[in-house]
Amino acid sequence: MSDLLPGRVAIVTGAGRGIGRAIAESLVAEGARVVVADNGTSISGAGSDPEVARAAARELNDKAGGTSALAFTESVASPGVARQLVDLAVRTFGGIDIVVNNAAIRRDAPVFDADPADWDAVIRTNLSSAFHLTSTASGVMRNRGKAGRIVNIVSSVGLSGAPGHAAYASAKAGLLALTRVTAMDLADEEITANAVLPLAGSQPADVASLVTALCLPAGGPITGRLLGVRGREVFLFGEPQPVASFDAGEPGRLVGDIAGRLGGQVASPFVF
Residues annotated as catalytic (active site), given as ranges: 168
Nearest residue to 34 (alpha-carbon basis) of 266, 208, 241, 177: 208
- Rounded to the nearest 10 degrees, how much is the dihedral formed by the CA atoms of 87, 13, 65, 94? -20
CB-CB contact of 23 with 15 (8 Å): yes
How does 37-72 read in b/e, with b if 16+ C-beta sit within 10 Å? bbbbbeeebeeeeeebbbbbbeebeeebeeebbbbb
Name beta bridge partners: 233: 230
To the nearest 5 percent, what fractions of the chain are helix, strand and coil? 45, 15, 40
Distance CA 36, CA 94 (A): 16
| DSSP state string for 192-216 | EEEEEEEPTT--HHHHHHHHHHHHS
Nearest to 179, CA basis, from 109, 244, 237, 263: 237
